[in-house]
């Protein structure tokens, strides 16, 4: 017979200063031209709005923006590749939102 231990409210700390909000994934949001992120491509997921790419960095797993110009370059990357993504600024394309420009570089394999 499986008996579950009931937790009484007296045993649960409810003060806000002892709780930390958890987030499943951090997302990189470059603010200035030249901002960079470096990490190992650790996951690619098919989502409702296309592919989502994730890098394993020194700060944990970080999701990359799903901007068209960036996703196009990331298609060439493979899981395990060490990538450097550099935000190159915005380009006015005559529509509402500017095009976000990126440069993606893959670390060369050591021989």
Nearest to 87 by CA among 38, 27, 28, 36: 36
- pLDDT the model gives residue 86: 98
List phi, psi (to 5°) of 16.
-65, -30
- pLDDT the model gives residue 5: 53
Regions of the chain with pLDDT less than 50: none
Domains of the chain: 24-106 (2.40.50)
Q: Alpha-carbon distance 89 to 74, whole Å? A: 18
> pTM of the predicted model, to two decimals?
0.74
Q: How many CB atoms lie within 10 A of CB 88?
A: 14
Nearest to 77 by CA among 34, 30, 102, 44: 44
């Amino acid at each position: 017979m499986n008996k579950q231990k009931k937790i009484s409210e007296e045993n649960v700390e409810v003060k806000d200063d002892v709780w930390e909000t958890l987030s499943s994934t951090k997302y990189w949001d470059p603010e200035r031209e030249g901002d960079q992120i470096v990490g190992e491509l650790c996951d690619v997921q098919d989502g409702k709005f296309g592919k989502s790419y994730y890098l394993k960095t020194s700060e944990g797993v970080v999701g990359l923006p799903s901007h068209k110009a960036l996703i196009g370059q990331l298609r060439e990357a493979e899981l395990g590749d060490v990538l450097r993504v550099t935000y190159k600024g915005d380009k006015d394309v005559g529509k509402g939102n500017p095009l976000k420009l990126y440069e993606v570089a893959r670390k060369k394999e050591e021989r």
